[in-house]
Amino acid sequence: MCGIFAYTGKNGKDAGGVLLDGLLSLEYRGYDSAGIYTPESGSIKTPGAVAELRKKMPASFTGKSGIAHLRWATHGEPTEKNAHPHASGDGEIWVVHNGIIENFKELKAKLVVQGHTFLSDSDTEVLPHLVEEHLKKTKDFEKAALMALNEVRGTYGIALQYKGEPDKIIAARMGSPIVLGLGDGEHFIASDPSPILPHTKKVVFLEDGEVAIITPDGHSITKLDATKVNRIATEIDWNAEEAQKGGYEHFMLKEIMEGPDVIENTLRGRLIAEKGMVKLGGLESVATELAQIERIIIVACGSAHIAGLIGEYMLEEFAGIPVEVEHASEFRYRSPVLNQRTALIAISQSGETLDTLEAVREGKRRGALTLGIVNAVGSTIARETDAGVYNHAGPEVSVASTKALISELAALVLLTIFLGRQRLPGQGGMSEKTAKEIALALKELPNKVQHILDTKQKIEKIAKKYAGVRDFIFIGRKYNYPVAFEGALKLKEISYIHAEGYGAGEMKHGPIAMIDEHFPTFAIVPQDSVYEKNVSNIHEIKARKGPVIALATEGDTEIGKLVNDVLFVPSTLEMLAPILNIVPLQLFAYYFAKEKGLNVDRPRNLAKSVTVE
């Protein structure tokens, strides 16, 4: 969730400038405080974003190596004293850390007895003190770091630097991502590849329980027991420019506008529409096992969980397989019943969501076949699942997930066709005729999404009209029941107002009590199999004087007579409608928050990659 970046080189580059630029590209991960350290210039820390750190940094701040950090607070408020990097008592050992040290209280108590004094409220501060204590005995930085890490319990991505050996930086990973960047005469450590890409595309991903050492001339990796690890480097196939705004005011708007390309990229090379077939190379190794599964469990968090709920409708109706969708954050605290005929599908944009990763590990322990639908190539979930499907959505920077959700839904449609065609129609599977119909409609979606995007000015006008309200409810049925959750989630996370998603049929069982002339409803009411029921629910709301915005199918001439405002989307198959319907809801939330003058890309209290529980 926080952002780590470290650099060491011999090419004459100023480490201060390299680290500061790297932090800017990590700013979506966490942003309540920032800090930087070089052995030559010491440390600078500040509450706030990287811009505040830049203001505070003197022109004389320089160095050949260093570590830097963006923090999203867990232990201790976002103040200067709690910002990273943290130092040992003698000021020789410095550390940046993402994660939580679960046994920090007992370690801190022991260190206090040994004479150490702590300056912050952060759990992280025990780490440099612990290394300092071991360094007194071993006089070897690498051994001292290993000894300290073997005492630590919890999750961490760490970069450690010792003033006595300034060119050397040690990284370690346990549950929080760490990637090494391998350059010519320079090496890097980061939470993800984005700050590395301007310098090199050659990276190595650490696994849990591994420790890496970088110097300007090379790198090495060991396990916590000092056993050597050999790993081939990976070439990242996207560049830093892809993560820039491209002329848009916000990343969120840019990423919504990329929707048509995202769908095409997710489908490219996979959809054989004329045969009603799907080729998913990432699933070929487990195709036999998939043909025999009797049950699917989808685990995810946030918008990815909403994608799973929509996927549940798809998979049950067209592949004939029972599906359960679980909040990954709760899954492993139950005692789930799994076996070899169960497939556990983890959905995660970053591929690093800790709750989802732990759900995958629990599934593996219980014998399930594990699959991943992830966007980040080389991420932990992608590596630890038995097989999977990459979204190919490209980097998503804005904290609120938009294009990644669209790509997840497109991937779930592909998976539905793939699994459905594995089974005979009489066994709940999918006929060739049905598969062709879905495949051809799927190919039309990029143009239909573009058509919606071309109407964004109308969406903006309606969003501005309602931007002063404090409450909103979103309703839908069947495939659009989860879409209502997504509409509410987007609105609440970037505009901070009270918003709820509900099944339209549930309104009369409680929520309708809230409705009055000041409490608007956003009704998702396409012309589908539950259209009439949705209209009945809108009548119930209007009878209580509730304002209603309708999201309806183009050509529906009646809905405008009933509601206050209406937005139209093109017609498509019922199972594909959520992919279209989500787009205007994302734009509505964007323009709503923008009208309120809020930071759309970096909403308060949230971060992009949630790597803590």
> Alpha-carbon distance 184 to 199, whole Å?
9
Which residues face 344 on adjacent strands?
Answer: 297, 370
> Alpha-carbon distance 435 to 438, whole Å?
5
Q: Is 51 helix (H, G, I), strand (E, B) or coil?
A: helix
> Alpha-carbon distance 605 to 610, whole Å?
12
> Alpha-carbon distance 563 to 578, whole Å?
21
Residue type at 106 in one-letter notation:
E
Which residues face 8 on adjacent strands?
Answer: 65, 187
Burial (Cβ within 10 Å: 0-12, 13-18, ≥19) of residue 561: exposed
DSSP code string of 454-504: TTHHHHHHHHHHHTT-SEEEEEE-GGGHHHHHHHHHHHHHHH--EEEEEEG
Q: Are 451 and 445 in contact (CB under 8 A)?
A: no
> Alpha-carbon distance 420 to 437, whole Å?
13
Catalytic residues: 2, 608
> Alpha-carbon distance 140 to 593, whole Å?
53
> Alpha-carbon distance 405 to 32, whole Å?
26
> Alpha-carbon distance 612 to 423, whole Å?
39
Half-sphere exposure of 171 (CA within 13 A, CB side): 34
Three-state SS string over 417-456 comes to HHHHHHCCHHHCCCCHHHHHHHHHHHHHHHHHHHHHHCCH
| Cβ-based neighbours of 421, under 8 Å, separated by 6 or more | 276, 277, 278, 429, 430, 432, 435
**Which DSSP symbol is given to 124?**
G
Least Cα distance to 352 among 221, 174, 482, 100 occurs for: 174
**Which DSSP symbol is given to 175?**
B
Least Cα distance to 578 among 421, 394, 441, 435 occurs for: 441
Number of neighbouring beta carbons within 10 Å of residue 365: 10
Look at the chain and count its residues. Answer: 613
Least Cα distance to 5 among 82, 85, 72, 59 occurs for: 85
Question: In this structure, what token pair is assigned to residue 57?
Answer: 């940094």
> Alpha-carbon distance 25 to 8, whole Å?
18
Question: What H or E segment, with its residue span, contains residue 473?
Answer: strand 471-476
Q: Are 300 and 330 in contact (CB under 8 A)?
A: no
Question: In this structure, what token pair is assigned to residue 413?
Answer: 């449609």
Cα angle at 158 between 156 and 164, to 5 degrees? Answer: 150
